[in-house]
Structure formats: structure tokens, C-alpha cells
Chain A
């Protein structure tokens, strides 16, 4: 399975990755190579195999519903680029 250049551009946009135009070709080739490996995996007969969601043979442990964290806002906000009135400030996003 080959991947098209426009698909790479779309995925890059969704992942917020900036790909310099000069690198798209090389990236397309390398991803196509990886997908060839996936094709090989796809060829394996998996009928009757239950999909694996985690490689560990274990199940999720649950924790009791209790508040164990205290307010550490000052510590967290000390490393934030911009804060005001207790809020983290980010470049404006609006619908």
C-alpha cells in the first residue's frame, strides 16, 4: 500500500506538524516502506484471533474514589509561559 503526498499533508495538519516542502518526498518514501511492513502483517490469517488491546496479560486495577491531590497551582503555573487570574493563557482560539 502506497501513501499519497496529500494524505501525508493532511495527517501532518491533524498532528500539527510542520513538514518543510523539501522533505515531503523523502517522508512519503519512508512511510510507504513502513506500510509495506504493515501489508505483510495484514496478510497473516487472524480469523479467530481476538484483537489485542494491550500486550500485557493483565487487567486494569481500579482505585477507590478519593481525593488524594491537593492544590499545586502555583508550582504548575511557575513553568507556564503566561498565566492570569489563575488561568493558563494561550493564543486565542475561538469558534
Chain B
């Protein structure tokens, strides 16, 4: 039978606030255990939550960024379950009245096609702490620094049909939230974690199959692998005439498999009720409107502008708009050197190549936009060839200064002095009488190929520094 995969994603996004959602404790990553957990985060008796306005602002910005309905009156609820890293015994979340309602955004797939994925809702909630199961004499260690960190849980419609679409959705979402500057989006630090709801149904069937939920997948690559595995597992069950059990599964990256989380089976009853310690959050329409006016240019708009303004392909434009910092870098280089296509090429090939190799972020690039554009300018004014440019780039990468300093220090300036070039051309012609005779005997079509030999010899003699355009001109004049 032919099966169709149906996927919905729930993404937990850590919002980039200084303090927790309901307390004044810091949210900085990597602090000593429990040094950023105050009485509110620990669930001490008598503590009352007070909502962080920045978390609200981030959530609304997200809603505006996906064109969603903004919940002008949203309500916090208690989601009840027991786990040691949840000190109060409930998580403060939003259930009936979330702050962000229905919206959607577009994803682009590798074949260039695009698809709209619906967002069901996004709501504010607090994160739980962390349980460490390493050896503490048979006990678990609890770090509550993360407890109370503001999260935006973004729930998609079951519109996703493959692992590739799921990854494209997450990448688009990642790009959107970093453009909006509402999260650092750092998956390695858990700033973006993903639950995957996945089911299969026979192709053509309207009704959804029974789904399994895979919890807490924290990288694009694991999302892809976890989906492939879960699809295979469910397909095996269904092909054998069995039925999928609705359950929560955990993706184990080490063993590359999903397995059942038995403890969650009985606990799947969260008994939500309105949080009595918080009042309804009422937003002013004018305030939402003022936020709408501060929205930056978003990835899709920027990509379209790059295509039309700079004449870039959809692919190039989408690579360059992947992050706001990269797009800004490219635009600085393009504006400064005056040639957007060459700028795009250098940023994509040399710069991104080196950044990836060194696992560096654009923000930490050793070569600044001004330096790269300085290099491109020297190529454009024929001071150096593109090939030498790569050498100069490497030297700049290694901290040898900007392009002019490297060219000067290494003596890489292209020889454009007619006298010096003429002497080299004359020498090569004198040294290779056979090739000269061959060239003179050939017709125009063949001459074009044969002239390459002389150019090669001259480039060799000049250690690549002869100006190729001038060499060609001189050869054309002298080979008669």
C-alpha cells in the first residue's frame, strides 16, 4: 500500500529575555547550577508570579511576523503533572486563550517549489528545570536555572508531509525568529526544541491515522532522522496489519531510534484550569499596531528584494538571507564594492566556505564586510586577479591585515606596467619559436586556443601577477 506521512510540529522557543517569565531571576545560559533560580522559580509557598513585558512583546512580534490573529485578551492556565524538575507540580501555560492565534508562513523546498504551512497557535509558558541522571549515588540531580525561562510554544497544523518539509519548516522558523530578534535560536543550547507528531494514512484517505509524538528533538539533523525512523516503524506495523498505539516516544540520538516513554502514558491528563495567581493579559490595540510598525524586513521579503534589486537567483538570495547578519554583511559588501554579483559570489563561496569549515558564525567572521569589499575592489580595478584574490582572502582570514596591506606585504600587485609586461611577452615569444610558427600557421579559430599557451607561460613567469587583459592585448599585437 502507498502511505502518506502526516506531520505536525510543536516548537518550544526560548525567548531572548534577560529575566524569567514570572520572576526577576536571570536567564543566562551556562551558569552554575541553581544560582539563577529564585523563590518564585523554586515554587516556594506564598510566591506570586509577575509577568515579564518583554516576553509578551516577543510573542506578539512573532504573531505579527506570521500574520496571525493576536489574542488581545489571553489567559494563563495551569498544566498539572508531576516531575522533579517542575517544582510547583504544574507548568504555567496558556490553554483556552493563547496570545497568538492562527497564522501561516511559506517554506521553500530544495526543488524551488514553495508551500504554505499553517500555524494553529502560539502560546507563552514557563520552561521546566533540568534533570541530570548521571551517578549521584542512585539519585537524580536537579538544576532549576532553566525553570521559569520564557517559552513560546508554536504549534503547526498537520500540513507537513515529509522529513524534508519538516526541516524546511524549522529552518524557516529559525530564520524568522532570529530576524525578529525574539530568540537566539541556538539549538545546541536548547533555545529551539521540537516535538514531532507523526502518523501515516493510506494515500487518498481523508481521515488521519493514529499518531505518535516524539519528544524533545533538538537539531535539524535529528528531526530528519527521527522522522525517517518513526515512519519506518509505523509502516512496518501497518503493513503487518497491526495498529499504531497513540503514545509519546523519545528519540535516542546515540542509538538512532525512537522508544516509548512509558511513564507518560498514565500522565497524559493535564487537568488544565485557569491560573488563579495571574489575571487575564489584555493588550491595547494601539500598542499592537505600534509593534507592527517596528517589524523588520522579514526573510521572504528580503529574499524577494535581493532577487529583484541585485539580480540574484532564488537559491543565492535565500542563502544570503538565511540570517539577518549575513544579509547585512552581503549588502555592506555589495554597496561598498559596487558589484552585487561578485559580492554574492565571494560571500557565498569563500566567506561561507571558510566560516563553515571553521564552524564560525557570521558575527565572528575574522574578515569584516569592509575588508572583503576592499579585496573585491582590487579585483575590479585589475590590481589583482581573482585567483590571487583567494590568496589575499586567506591572508586576511589569518589576520594579516586588509587587502591592500596583504597585497603590498606579499608583493601580489598585478603587473600592469606595459614595459615590464612587454619584456616578458618578448621573452616568451623568443623562447618558443615552434609554438609561434604553429600559431602563425593556424586559422583564427585555432589561434584562440593556441594563444592560451603563451598566456600560461607569461603567468608562470610573472608568478600569476601579470594582468591577463594586458597580456592578451600585447600578444595579439606581437604575434604577427
Contact = CB atoms under 8 A, between A and B. Distances in A.
Given A87-B33, A87-B34, A90-B140, A14 B50 contact: no
Given A67-B24, A67-B26, 14 more contacts: A14-B266, A53-B75, A53-B274, A63-B50, A64-B53, A69-B19, A73-B35, A85-B33, A86-B34, A86-B35, A90-B139, A90-B142, A91-B139, A93-B140
Interface stretch (B163-171, B277-285, B340-348, B441-449): B277-285
Contacts of A94: 133, 140
A73 B38 CA distance: 8
Interface residues of B, number: 57
14 contacts: A14-B81, A14-B267, A51-B96, A53-B97, A56-B279, A60-B282, A69-B23, A69-B25, A87-B34, A89-B139, A89-B142, A93-B83, A93-B133, A93-B140
B144 interface: yes
Interface in A34-89: 51, 53-54, 56, 58-69, 71-73, 76-77, 82, 84-89
B34 A88 contact: yes
A18 interface: no
Query: Which residue, A73, A88, A92, has most C-beta atoms of chain B within 10 A?
Result: A88
A62 B75 contact: no
Contacts of B35: 71, 73, 86
A87 B18 contact: no
A62 B36 contact: no
A61 B283 CA distance: 11
Contacts of B138: 92
A55 B220 CA distance: 45
B119 to A, nearest CB: 24
Contacts of A92: 133, 138-140
B136 A84 contact: yes
Given A53-B280, A90-B142, A92-B139, A62 B34 contact: no
A90 B51 CA distance: 29
A13 to B, nearest CB: 7
A66 B139 contact: no
B263 interface: yes
B80 interface: yes
Nearest to A75: B39
A23 interface: no
B36 A71 contact: yes
Interface string B38-54: 11001000000011111
B424 interface: no
A66 B42 CA distance: 19
A90 B141 CA distance: 6
Contact of B279 (A60, A65, A84, A93): A60
B97 to A, nearest CB: 7
Contacts of A85: 33, 141
B263 A89 contact: no
